[in-house]
Structure 1
């Protein structure tokens, strides 16, 4: 049957339930959120009192940070109610998701009610993380069992991309296929098919990793600060590393999962690792559970001067003390290496205490994951997918093993007393050197069951640039241009934070020229953690501090010319951003033929923060769009003022959908791609569609209406008001006045039609003059040193 989802019911409005409801509403679905009638209001006839629990939970979710919604109007799609009065309303829903407390008896009571009111064929799933899915299906009807399985979201559901799908033996295979596809395509998730084993995949491996680290810490006499320094971004893991993650998740939750594995997996060869350390039991007794109780491994405090500080728990004395920055020679030597795989190899070859920790940690992890195949998954790539999407690892465990060399590491593991599963030895004996490799631009993965390599499904929908390295068309030190097939080129760069400097601008120009010569078009994207934090401010600072204004003028002209080249080339240029897309990266998006943005794209023109105005065509483009948006029903200055404020306040969209509200993205042209992994494939498809529809390069505009003095006076008055009220510093107002001058087209006596180049020249002159301002240079310097601009 063809299944569509129009309305979803979420049963349970706790932290997970309310946020799952927000995520479904965020993708445009009508959502029904239900919970209990609060105690004391059972006899009340007032909906506000009977629904107080669910309404309070939803209000708290909407106010929480990070926000669970893409835009604030999402709340309009959520209807609240209670189990007593509104369970009947699930009859209108296509999917019912249970997210109540982790008790089997309570879940079964809820499912009894669901069975009474659901229409046949309705999907029913549970978000449980600790109860076997098969146990919840018992005593239910055949239709219920057929349409029931586990759908385990990770918290927060909007941001963590993992969705584990756990069928029972009764679940119809078509239901599983539907959920795997729907979660990927519409919810933007990495959907991972799991077996109904304790903790499923991600928590089984993730909690093992944390418990293994705790064991190693005790064994090697390391402390909390040292472990978090060793297990964070330096090895491609989140900043929360190990113990900060424990505090965020909740130590009671961590202990519950660990005990659950130890009790329910008697054949787990490493079950002793899940034994709870004495100091952790003591923390549970003290109710030091992490963020939820105000203290765990870390505690916020106030110093002698009233300033905030974070204290770390000493696990020997059980007392808190100021954090101490750890010092490891091998870590300090590896930090400057940007490439994670190269860095990982260097760290694991270290001869100091950190190097020994990394060896032991990886040996333990590799041994464990080898023995989990086929227990928790038949396919090893699912384990890596789960850990990257659920725990934020940059690369998966099997991929890390590849990086360190499979055969070489197995020999070292055996010498150190660690065992690997028999299938790994068989793989090495067969001559297979790695778990993953690339064949015909597609990533393949070793399959232990067939003892061969198989293509990872979804390869066509999930284009990974590096898989096309053997089809490199052009490159320089920072960039590569690939042939992505079907006569489409793809450009990516690997600078720090995706910064855009001379090499990147050269690559954009060269890639467009190559595409114009014999291809259909160009996709600009990358597979890094962020798309781009903007222009290379270090280069700007260096030229400005040395007063090389001719060089600086040339650099700005090159940036502007490159953006205009993207806009007016004879082939379509499609940008596929994700994550941070700031400053110059936003300007590139503004000048593309189309943007295929990941839902989690944080885009904006932020140059005001460092005392500059957008100088790569961003200011010009906002003026042009404001001119096109002006209409007779409102004063012309309103549209321009809104555009001005977006730049003057350095506003950044908190999602791609908010990017449309800001006017960075164009309605009816640009699109949001829910699954970040699909955006490059969607961009490639767009290039082909635009080209095949008879693409004609647009002509540069000479009819951009600027308002001159009539708008300039209003903007300057607003700036002075902001300064007087204390919302802007003196230098903020200096920069904002320059911006206002450019956006009004200068000191013109009346509204005038001008060319794009006229606006670009004004923009460049203002940018250059601000580079000579002492306070601007102070701001840029503070960004280069500490990552944040000083407020001067």
Structure 2
């Protein structure tokens, strides 16, 4: 069997989904042919310009792609990726699908239109080429009817979730004719190259995620009526507090489109006559009224919420009152259950507290969970044979922090079943004998298999390291950190503090981990599984010491952090860091000093200290000066390299993806890795540790050959800073901070370019940090971050 390689993809249909799927492939470096229909009439503007239809054949596809590229957040990892997308139309360019290895159809949800297009595609498609549909509403087996045997064999459903760059679910739906090789290939390619959680689905209405997700939303709509709750209350109850996205229930519906939601619900009610919860999919009168009013959410500028400009000219979001159908100011609901549960950081413990609540919120959580648990139990084996696929689909497609079966485990399977029955909910019979849906043995997660009534390892899970599964292999811990043995003599360190900030306990954890690894292990991985890797140093601690003018203590704290970061650089074993999400300030500085970084593609990394009135004080300013020195070469004035590095810190730039971090000089090309699938980053980091160890790892020697430019560099940087001040881009305090940063990066006021050591620059960096920490305006900025999360501009 030949090895399948994807060198080029053709995407047919350039609507919101089509263009975004095209952007995602271009983002990973695959050339894309994006096609759509040619217009049948000229616009008034085109007529005025005297154009003919022949001249505007690509208008539809080009406008769609242009609109997608304006989306925020961006659908591509770097701006350059767009050059890999070639646009065209079905009349002139369909023949070019002959050069594609994978053809993805994303046209309008109508069986006849899709089948007509496939007929045309079949004239040009070369045998063996993958062909898949992104449909979410049409049974996959109907689509390939009447096609050739080769077409059917290489055809299946690949349902991407929108936006494809950020939502990690890819549902793969084979037909009875699909070659198993095709299903296996797409499952692996989606995971490794597209960064997806790939979930094998049966060809049932709405597949897995939308079937469960839309049930969940519709059940909440009915529950809201039953308990007399309003929109703001429901969104407060169903957001991050239960491990769901900030968009909770109603905001999600506005984003997805209320018409889309209603169509899926009607589709399930119509095509699933045996669904025991069919009544839940019935559309409430108020929901139908919204569809009739064309209040469909974001796409029609109003839905459950509406954005307006108030009398002061500020943007304000109003909420719909479903009784009066008027929009009014948002309300902040208060419940004792929420107040009790909010301080509990661990989601699993928090869920237990919420379901025990004695007020209306507690009642809501019980009904909500009992209904969901009963529903998922009846969906096996209808929509999937394995329960873990349902959890995977909900986490990756709807952004749930933990899956539904896992939540059931947390609340206790049998205890909950007893409560469910008392409240009138009937779970499926197979659940009666289950004590737990998942369990962990030797770092491996097992799931309960209904067919054999035994526990089986999750297939493919060996490619993923989930730190929590190694709790039995804890080597050391303190109240913030845990150090695990990940097997093969590699240690893994994680910490869980508020937003994973770095304080004394975390620094102790890093020092201790390196010391233990040097004693008897091959190396260390530093990573965690919170929403973000780390937002940097503990700002509260810096603020407290600075306000009390305890500069000796602050000096010691910075020195300790610098020493820790340098310990990462100069340890006797390889240290690999696997960041993801926000990796700011100290989190970025630590990554800059690792032997290698294996970053998730969605890593937003940067040195942001200037925003709070400081400069990077944990080796970041030193490291950028060192890298500027290494980048200096004959063909380019030395000042250019220094200037670029200086402005990256000076403007507090944060990469919008790991790929963009190469351009900012934070990740090193050809050295640090970007891991497309966030779930694989820790196992990739472990592999990198072993590779470095096997290659005969030696400790990097402290550097004493860093070229700094002294007065020559200072003159150039000061001129740039003053230009920005005169142009009103920065404040007087910003000038002061930027001058300090320039001083550090130029090695001080030296009369000529000089070679200096890392320690020399670290001392300058620390002195500058301390002097800024004593400034009134810096304290104001720190205080505003602590109070409202954003620095004041002063």
* TM-score of the alignment, normalized to the shorter chain, above 0.5: yes
| Residue equivalent to 1:164 | 171
Q: Deviations over 1:575-596 (max 9, x none)?
A: 0000000000000000000000
Task: For residue 787 of structure 2, give the secondary structure of its aligned residue in structure 1.
Answer: helix
Please identify, of 145-154 and 780-789, the stretch whose mean Cα deviation from structure 2 is larger.
780-789
Task: For residue 183 of structure 2, give the secondary structure of its aligned residue in structure 1.
Answer: helix
CA contact (8 A) 2:257 2:296 kept: yes
Counterpart CA distance in 2 for 1:565 and 1:544 is: 26
| Residue equivalent to 2:733 | 731
Task: For residue 375 of structure 1, give the secondary structure of its aligned residue in structure 2.
Answer: coil
| Residue equivalent to 2:452 | 450
Q: Out of 469, 481, 493, which is 2:495 matched to?
A: 493
Query: Where does 1:7-406 land on structure 2 (aligned, <5 Å)?
Result: 7-40=8-41, 49-406=56-413
Counterpart CA distance in 1 for 2:4 and 2:765 is: 52
Per-residue deviation at 1:47?
A: 6.9
Q: Deviations over 1:657-697 (max 9, x none)?
A: 00111110011110000000000000000000000100110
Per-residue deviation at 1:46?
A: 7.8
Counterpart CA distance in 1 for 2:695 and 2:636 is: 36
CA contact (8 A) 1:225 1:325 kept: yes
Counterpart CA distance in 2 for 1:638 and 1:38 is: 49
Counterpart CA distance in 1 for 2:416 and 2:324 is: 37
CA contact (8 A) 1:44 1:50 kept: no
Task: For residue 614 of structure 1, give the secondary structure of its aligned residue in structure 2.
Answer: coil
| Residue equivalent to 2:660 | 658
Task: For residue 580 of structure 1, give the secondary structure of its aligned residue in structure 2.
Answer: strand
| Residue equivalent to 1:430 | none
| Residue equivalent to 2:506 | 504
Q: Deviations over 1:295-320 (max 9, x none)?
A: 00000112222221110000000000
Q: Out of 613, 634, 657, which is 2:615 matched to?
A: 613
Per-residue deviation at 1:44?
A: 7.7
Counterpart CA distance in 1 for 2:405 and 2:14 is: 37
Counterpart CA distance in 2 for 1:701 and 1:162 is: 45
Task: For residue 581 of structure 1, give the secondary structure of its aligned residue in structure 2.
Answer: strand
CA contact (8 A) 2:558 2:617 kept: yes
Query: Where does 1:731-770 land on structure 2 (aligned, <5 Å)?
Result: 731-770=733-772
Q: Deviations over 1:693-749 (max 9, x none)?
A: 001101000000000110101111111111111111111111111111111110111
Per-residue deviation at 1:41?
A: 5.9
| Residue equivalent to 2:47 | none
Counterpart CA distance in 2 for 1:696 and 1:196 is: 54
CA contact (8 A) 1:478 1:494 kept: yes
Per the normalisation by structure 2, the TM-score is 0.98
CA contact (8 A) 1:41 1:50 kept: no
Counterpart CA distance in 1 for 2:56 and 2:758 is: 59
Counterpart CA distance in 2 for 1:753 and 1:384 is: 56
Task: For residue 321 of structure 1, give the secondary structure of its aligned residue in structure 2.
Answer: strand
Q: Deviations over 1:145-179 (max 9, x none)?
A: 00000000000000000000000000000100000
**Alignment coverage as a number of residue pairs:** 787
| Residue equivalent to 2:539 | 537
Gap regions ≥5 residues in structure 2? 44-49
Task: For residue 461 of structure 2, give the secondary structure of its aligned residue in structure 1.
Answer: coil
| Residue equivalent to 2:428 | 421
CA contact (8 A) 1:251 1:290 kept: yes
Per the normalisation by structure 1, the TM-score is 0.99
Task: For residue 234 of structure 1, give the secondary structure of its aligned residue in structure 2.
Answer: helix
| Residue equivalent to 1:555 | 557
Query: Where does 1:433-472 land on structure 2 (aligned, <5 Å)?
Result: 433-472=435-474
Q: Deviations over 1:242-284 (max 9, x none)?
A: 0000000000000000000000000000000000011111111
| Residue equivalent to 1:4 | 5
Counterpart CA distance in 2 for 1:53 and 1:11 is: 12
Task: For residue 667 of structure 1, give the secondary structure of its aligned residue in structure 2.
Answer: coil
Please identify, of 382-391 and 773-782, the stretch whose mean Cα deviation from structure 2 is larger.
773-782
Per-residue deviation at 1:48?
A: 5.5
Q: Deviations over 1:18-44 (max 9, x none)?
A: 010000011111110000111226998
Please identify, of 711-720 and 209-218, the stretch whose mean Cα deviation from structure 2 is larger.
711-720
Per-residue deviation at 1:601?
A: 0.4
Query: Where does 1:660-675 land on structure 2 (aligned, <5 Å)?
Result: 660-675=662-677
Counterpart CA distance in 1 for 2:453 and 2:121 is: 44
Shift in alpha-carbon separation, 1:44–1:171, aligned structure 2, 3 A: farther
Task: For residue 462 of structure 2, give the secondary structure of its aligned residue in structure 1.
Answer: coil
Counterpart CA distance in 1 for 2:52 and 2:390 is: 50
Q: Deviations over 1:463-490 (max 9, x none)?
A: 0011111111110000001000000000
Counterpart CA distance in 2 for 1:761 and 1:57 is: 53
Q: Does 1:646 align with 2:648?
A: yes
Counterpart CA distance in 1 for 2:590 and 2:384 is: 42
Counterpart CA distance in 2 for 1:85 and 1:434 is: 57
Counterpart CA distance in 2 for 1:224 and 1:729 is: 42
Counterpart CA distance in 1 for 2:51 and 2:88 is: 14
Please identify, of 263-272 and 734-743, the stretch whose mean Cα deviation from structure 2 is larger.
734-743
| Residue equivalent to 1:711 | 713
Task: For residue 463 of structure 2, give the secondary structure of its aligned residue in structure 1.
Answer: coil
Counterpart CA distance in 2 for 1:65 and 1:523 is: 33
Task: For residue 166 of structure 2, give the secondary structure of its aligned residue in structure 1.
Answer: coil
Counterpart CA distance in 1 for 2:7 and 2:500 is: 39
CA contact (8 A) 2:215 2:281 kept: yes
Task: For residue 6 of structure 1, give the secondary structure of its aligned residue in structure 2.
Answer: coil
Q: Deviations over 1:216-251 (max 9, x none)?
A: 000000000000000000000000000000000000
| Residue equivalent to 2:630 | 628
Q: Deviations over 1:411-456 (max 9, x none)?
A: 00000000000110133xxxxx210110111000001111010001
Please identify, of 455-464 and 400-409, the stretch whose mean Cα deviation from structure 2 is larger.
455-464
Per-residue deviation at 1:635?
A: 1.0
Task: For residue 267 of structure 1, give the secondary structure of its aligned residue in structure 2.
Answer: coil
Gap regions ≥5 residues in structure 1? 428-432
Per-residue deviation at 1:333?
A: 1.3
Counterpart CA distance in 2 for 1:747 and 1:144 is: 71
Task: For residue 750 of structure 2, give the secondary structure of its aligned residue in structure 1.
Answer: coil
Counterpart CA distance in 2 for 1:609 and 1:113 is: 56
Counterpart CA distance in 1 for 2:54 and 2:665 is: 39
Counterpart CA distance in 2 for 1:790 and 1:56 is: 39
Per-residue deviation at 1:59?
A: 1.4
Per-residue deviation at 1:459?
A: 2.1
Per-residue deviation at 1:127?
A: 0.2
**Could you say what the CA RMSD is over the residues aligned between the two structures, in angstroms?**
1.1
CA contact (8 A) 2:41 2:53 kept: no
CA contact (8 A) 1:706 1:744 kept: yes
